[in-house]
Amino acid sequence: MNSARLRLAAPRLGVVWILFVSLAATLPAGVTGLEIVERSAVLDGKAFGRAGAYERIVGRVRFALEPGAAANAAVRDLALAEADANGRVAFSATFYLLRPVEAAPGNGTLLLEVPNRGRKGLLARFCLARSSDDPRTADHFGDAWLFEQGFTLGWIGWQWDVPDAQPLRLDPARLRDPHAPGLVRAEFIPDRDTPQMPLGDREHHPIPLAEALRLGVRDTPEEPSRDLAAGTWRIVEGGRAVELDGGFRAGRMYELVYRGTAGVVTGLGLVAFRDFVAFAKHGGAAADALGAPRRAIGFGVSQSGRFLRHFLYEGFNADEQGRLVFDGVWADVAGAGRGSFNQRYGQASRDGNPWTNVLYPTDVFPFHDRETQDPVTGRRDALLAAAEQARVGPKIFYTNSSYEYWGRAAALVHSAPDGRTDVPLAPATRYYAIAGAQHGAGTIPPATGNARFPALPTDQRPLHRALLAALQTWVADDRPPPESVYPQLGDGTLVPAEALALPKLKDVELPRYPRRARRLEFGADFERTGIMTAERLESRGAFPLLVPALDADGIDRRGLRLPQVAVPLGSYLGWNFRATSGQGHLVNFLGSFIPFAKTAAERAARGDPRPAIAERYRDREDYLARARAAADQLVRDRHLLPIDRDRAVDQCAQLWDHVMR
């Protein structure tokens, strides 16, 4: 940190600390201290519309919990953690805040993003900015739309195992017994032949290893794992990697099972969000540095969206005084999942995809906000059961793309576990399926990488900006947002995957290995204790896989359609295939863009059943006129902001130029 920033922060730092010392006995929730290491002007004090100038506040928040408190009963292993002389369990987390210097001109809402593996995404998502984990320059703030709206933006660390380069992290309490029982599964699928594979996921720190038990291999998720001879493999790199004689082969699925050690209380990441928001909203003078928000929206993408679903399920939307924590929650591209966020030796980065991290406790019942029944186990439960019992249910947005139906079992969020009926959404839930989109924003030209077809070119961020504006007015003014838009069994827009009608296109087939939610057995008492005890996972079968029905062009029949999807130049499929290792398996996170033939003659030569571009549109201007009409309809429906109309049409122009080049 440079000295100029230190001089700016120093005069206000002492004030904040004195407030904490004098008010410690009355602080709400589990917050015991706030250490500010930087307080600096954003973009040299630039004013952002009515919200005025913003400041950056970076620091660490300290917590302490009473293990016996009813509000903390859901935190697994909390009673087994190291405690202070008063019997409290202490931990801390780093945080990063961008807030209006003067709170009054702001909109009163803390928009708190759950960092995805330690990374920030709000500014790239909603300000169309260049990604940065420490936004400093103008390109990191894009068009500053969030700041013009007056949001306070926040991030707080919740993972202890993120790569060292990520400053947003949790410093958790550790278990008193370093040898607390529990198994760890390290699954990996190499993209190329290699002699070693890391135990941690995506450069994360691995769970420390006490004893390696077995190394197995399979070729598909459905096969049983076959043990490799003990003498052919060994743990290397100080317990951070495993080495195999002859090497690991590209495209094969390996799993190392071992006993963990030096465990931490993983669920404290959930508590950090609960208590940080409670403190920001109700901390009084001690929390002035956080902007005294009147309300809070939790936002998470993918892993972070699953975190928020888990947060709600475990009952953390009530603080220690029983008050509402998040007024609104938005889980984006989370599918039907939760995660290993409150589990002994839990690996929060492990997700659950068609190709990697296949067999983890990610897509686990219940999936729906309302009560449903698993027809195999007979169990009845609801994602919002705890929140509704405590009367702290937030207003909820779920958004999923076409990909999440194939790669994240998204249909389980709005259908019955037996796959036979739709289940109505909870009254305060909205669900928006984004047709023709994939896990993240697409590019023009479309990306390729290790995929058979070009990825989807759809950039759904303009839709997201309109949806955030709608969520804000819902939580702040109680103005209802647009009605949900998603495929359903009742009208034939949601169908069993095996029954999907697909246009006959060259080299395009239905996926053989989509992501299916499985009833995996991790141990006899795993649901209650969060302790994995099964060396070999057994499955009681998969839940039905339902996917959006396609129209004759190969586009989801139901869902929000950006202009480039509503006025198409090709098929927008929710899946793509690996081009090299693991052929026939799906590429994680990508869909497929299959352009139409340009002319009728080209279409006939290819045997393509889809009308050619020249058969659909007279010329580029005709195409763009239709795109403008589609954009205008989205604006009328509150699915697109007026300021984003031209941007959405410009995406169409870029795609036309690319396809017709």
Percentage of the chain with pLDDT > 90?
92
Confidence class of residue 437 from pLDDT cuts 50, 70 and 90?
very high
pLDDT in tens, 624-648: 999 999 999 999 999 999 999 999 9
Amino acid, res. 340: S
Q: How far is C-alpha 251 from the geometric centre of its chain's CA atoms? A: 26
The mean pLDDT value for 144-170 works out to 97
Q: Whole-angstrom Cα distance, residue 195 to residue 217?
A: 15
Residue 15: helix, strand or coil by DSSP? helix
pLDDT of residue 15: 38
> Rounded CA gap, 460 and 435, in Å?
10
For residue 28, pLDDT beyond 70 = no
Return the axis-axis angle of helices 268-282 and 303-313, rounded to nearest 10°: 80
Share the mean pLDDT of the chain.
94
What's the Cα-to-Cα distance from 24 to each of 84, 275, 497, rounded to whole Å?
16, 15, 56
Q: What is the pLDDT of residue 580?
A: 84
Contact 439, 404 (CB under 8 A): yes
pLDDT given at position 417: 99
For residue 110, pLDDT over 70 is answered with yes
Residue labelled with tokens 């739709």:
422
Q: How many CA atoms lie within 13 A of 396 on its CB side?
A: 24
Q: What is the amino acid identity at position 220?
A: T
Provide the 3-class DSSP secondary structure of residue 355. coil
Closest of 74, 156, 82, 97 to residue 320, by C-alpha = 74
The C-alpha angle with vertex 318 and arms to 316 and 320, in degrees rounded to 5, equals: 100
**Which sequence spans correspond to the domains of the chain?**
3-173+265-318+334-394+468-473, 183-260
* Among the listed residues 245, 259, 261, 262, the one whose alpha carbon sits nearest the alpha carbon of residue 212: 259
Specify the DSSP element, H or E, that contains 218.
strand 209-218
> What are the φ and ψ backbone dihedral angles of 214, each rounded to 5 degrees?
-160, 150
What is the model's pLDDT at position 19? 39
pLDDT in tens, 198-209: 999 999 999 999
- The string of pLDDT tens digits covering residues 166-202 is 999 999 999 999 999 999 999 999 989 999 999 999 9
582-641: per-residue pLDDT in tens?
A: 888 999 999 999 999 999 999 999 999 999 999 999 999 999 999 999 999 999 999 999
266-320, pLDDT tens digit by residue? 999 999 999 999 999 999 999 999 999 999 999 999 999 999 999 999 999 999 9
Helices (H), 178-242: none
Per the CB < 8 A criterion, the answer to whether 263 and 530 are in contact is: no
Please state which of the ranges 7-16, 455-464, 588-597 shows the lowest mean pLDDT.
7-16
pLDDT at 9: 35
216-225, 229-238, 457-466 — which is least confidently predicted? 216-225
pLDDT at 11 exceeding the cut of 80: no
Q: How much of the chain exceeds pLDDT 70, in percent?
A: 96
- pLDDT for 509 equals 95
- Nearest Cα to 28, choosing from 284, 232, 218? 284
Tell me what pLDDT residue 17 has.
45
Instruction: Report pLDDT digits (tens) over 337-353.
Output: 999 999 999 999 999 99
Q: What are the backbone dihedrals phi and psi of residue 385, each rounded to the nearest 5 degrees, phi first?
A: -60, -50
Tokens found for residue 283: 């901390």
Query: Hey, which bits of 328-478 come out as E strands?
Result: 328-332, 372-373, 380-381, 395-401, 429-434
Whole-number Cα distances in Å, 415 to 156, 425, 496, 552, 599: 33, 9, 12, 25, 41
